[in-house]
Amino acid sequence: MMKLTSLAAAIAVTSMLTACGGGSSSSSTDADDAQATAVINVANVSKVLETNADIALATYSDAVDTAIELQTALQTFRENPTEENFVAAKTAWLVAREPYGQTEVYRFRLSPIDSTDYSSEDGPEGDINAWPLGEALIDYVQTNDTDFGTDQVGVTANAAGINGGGALTAAGAEDQSNNIIGNTSIDISADLLANTATADDEHDVIAGYHAIEFLLWGQDLNNDGETTDGTDRDEAVKANTATNYAEGGDRPLSDLAEGYSETDTYDSSNLSNRRHKFMEMAVQKLIDDLTTVRDGWAEGASYRTAFTTISTEDEAKQKLAEILTGMGTLSEGELAGERMQIAFSSNSQEDEHSCFSDNTHRDIWLDAEGVSNSYYGEYAGYDSTLDGTDDATARAVSGYGIDDYLADAGLTELASDMEAALTTTQTAYVAIDTLARAGTPFDVQIIEATSSEPAYDAIKALNAQSSVIADVAEALEIDAEVIDGDATECNTEDPTAEC
């Protein structure tokens, strides 16, 4: 019986594609309509939507809480800038990424992360997770002669002739007059970050997680503490023999050794104070932005209500399309393509998401885990000890997932295809994570860019997974029905009216 239903669905999909091919006939339309009744069960879609919203609320709530813990750790470090508190602040940053990474599947659909009014693309995502960071705008970065040529005057006034035209160091930082830390006439304030965060051309590259990451870790330099000269990519990153290997950048404690507190007040001319101040402002903005997003998913919030309230098949398909768009776009375009393939194929191993902390292996894992969370309707919590196991489970969700929906719709073959694809992806990202934890961070993993590397497998698997996600959309006839709904109901009597 299951097999027959599945076959009928497959036939319906075929006829739908024919209709899309321009050969629309009344018979295939009838078949689509008949099948639509079978594959879309509004009550079951409602259950998928509720679970999906529950997971969003749980992950964003955990993201807010871990950001607040990061804020606390930064405050402790600021008030008592010891090596121990420095390490604790970095750890708190890494922990904060664990729930946030699992939320990225909620992007690409005008949900609160990407849109403040659920129609325009103006959400706080760029402020939260802006990348690549414009670190040269924030604080000193190291340069070398061979990279840019000695005849070049640096982009920052401090790069001109400091240390013989070579690397900029903390010792030379008092001259770094054209970055935010070094130019002490610039007021490091909430306004500063807000001003640059939402501007037209995404010059929001001084806010969010990665700005704090840069100030905690600094540049991820090579074995000699130098930058690459752009010719030998193998030398761009630390090799296995480096003592500081797989730990990202090496910002010295001296950069942050002077903090401020109730007794030692903030001194806007002190560079160490300014770095702490920047992080203080950035983490507060991060918390505020994440809170806005979280609140959009809260029970009774207008976005959540709109997302979970459906009564017709068309509305059900629209909402399923939104979930599947998030899953498919994150899998294929964003994670496999924009974040991994560009680094892999262009031999640009520095071009990684969390380049300062060498935490890119977790970005990959967590993004991919978010996709499977949406599919299975499960959220296991996050890893608060960074040992590879989700142990903060107070908000864990176990609900009605797309897997349950497909099973109840009799689409069992499709469900097993999807599970196989997700498992293949998981195998690949676990392998990336294992290698990184054993001392080979993502940037080193892709130096050779060969098909035997887990990054290659992960890219392939994520793309294959997105094809199955598209198959799910087709099986649910999302293409067939939702396309034309409100596309061109224009009132041309009034050409200026919205349509």
Partner 1 sequence: MASTSGCSDTEVPPPDPAEARPGGDATTSIIPFPALDKVTPNLPDDERPQFYAGRALAHQPWIKAPTITDARDGLGPIYNARGCLACHIRGGKSRMPDDSETPLFGPLVRMSRVLADPQLMAAAANSHAGVIPDPVYGDQLQTQSIALLHQLRQASPVAIAEQQQVAPEAYAYVKWHEQAFVYPDGRQITLRKPELDLRYVAYGEFDAATRFSLRNAPPIHGMGLLELIPQADLEALADPDDADGDGISGRQNRVWDARSQRWQAGRFGHKANRSNMDMIVASAFANDIGISNPLFPFQPCTEQQPLCQKQRNGNNSQGLELPDNLLRLVTNFTRNLGVPTRRNVDNADVRKGRPFFYTSGCAACHQPGYTTAASSAQPHLGNQRIWPYTDLLLHDMGPELADGRPDFAASGSEWRTAPLWGTGLMGQVNGSKQYLHDGRASSIEEAILWHGGEALAARQRFTHLSAAERRYLIQFVESL
Q: Please report, as residue ranges, which positions from 20 to 49 form the binding site for partner 1 (by CB under 8 A).
A: 20-24
Sign of the torsion formed by the C-alpha atoms of 213, 214, 217 and 220: positive
CA–CA separation, 350 vs 340, rounded Å? 11
Nearer to partner 1, 58 or 459 (CB): 459
Q: Examine residue 449 and tell whether it contacts partner 1 (CB under 8 A).
A: no
Q: Which of 351, 390, 448, 471 binds partner 1 (CB under 8 A)?
A: 351
- Which one among 10, 50, 68, 134 touches partner 1, defined by CB under 8 A? 134
- List the one residue from 88, 333, 413, 426 that touches partner 1 (CB under 8 A): 333
Name every residue whose Cβ is closer than 8 Å to that of residue 15 and which is 6 or more positions away in sequence: 28, 31, 32
Of residues 199-228, those binding partner 1 (CB under 8 A): 199-203, 205, 219-220, 227-228
- Asked if 154 interacts with partner 1 (CB under 8 A), we say yes
Shortest reach from residue 181's CB to partner 1, in Å: 11
The residue (of 291 and 318) whose beta carbon lies closer to partner 1 is: 318
**Residue of 284, 318, 424, 426 that binds partner 1 (CB under 8 A):** 318
Minimum CB separation from partner 1 for residue 397, in Å?
24
Among residues 4, 43, 438, 487, the one that binds partner 1 under rule CB under 8 A: 487
Residue 173 within binding range of partner 1, rule CB under 8 A: no
How many chain residues are in contact with partner 1, going by CB under 8 A?
Answer: 89
User: Given candidates 338, 385, 398, 427, which one binds partner 1 under the rule CB under 8 A?
Assistant: 338
Complex with partner 1: residue 267 or 479, whichever CB lies closer? 479
Choose, by CB under 8 A, the member of 95, 321, 415, 472 that binds partner 1: 321
In the complex with partner 1, which residue's Cβ is closer, 219 or 374?
Answer: 219
Asked if 66 touches partner 1 (CB under 8 A), the answer is no
**With CB under 8 A as the contact rule, which of the stretches 86-94, 99-107, 153-161, 383-391 interacts with partner 1?**
153-161
Q: Does 143 bind partner 1 (CB under 8 A)?
A: yes
195 lies in the binding site for partner 1 (CB under 8 A): yes
Q: For partner 1, which is the closer residue by CB, 67 or 105? A: 105
Contact between 141 and partner 1 per CB under 8 A = yes
Residues 228-267 that bind partner 1 (CB under 8 A): 228-231, 236
Minimum distance of partner 1 from residue 288's CB (angstroms):
20
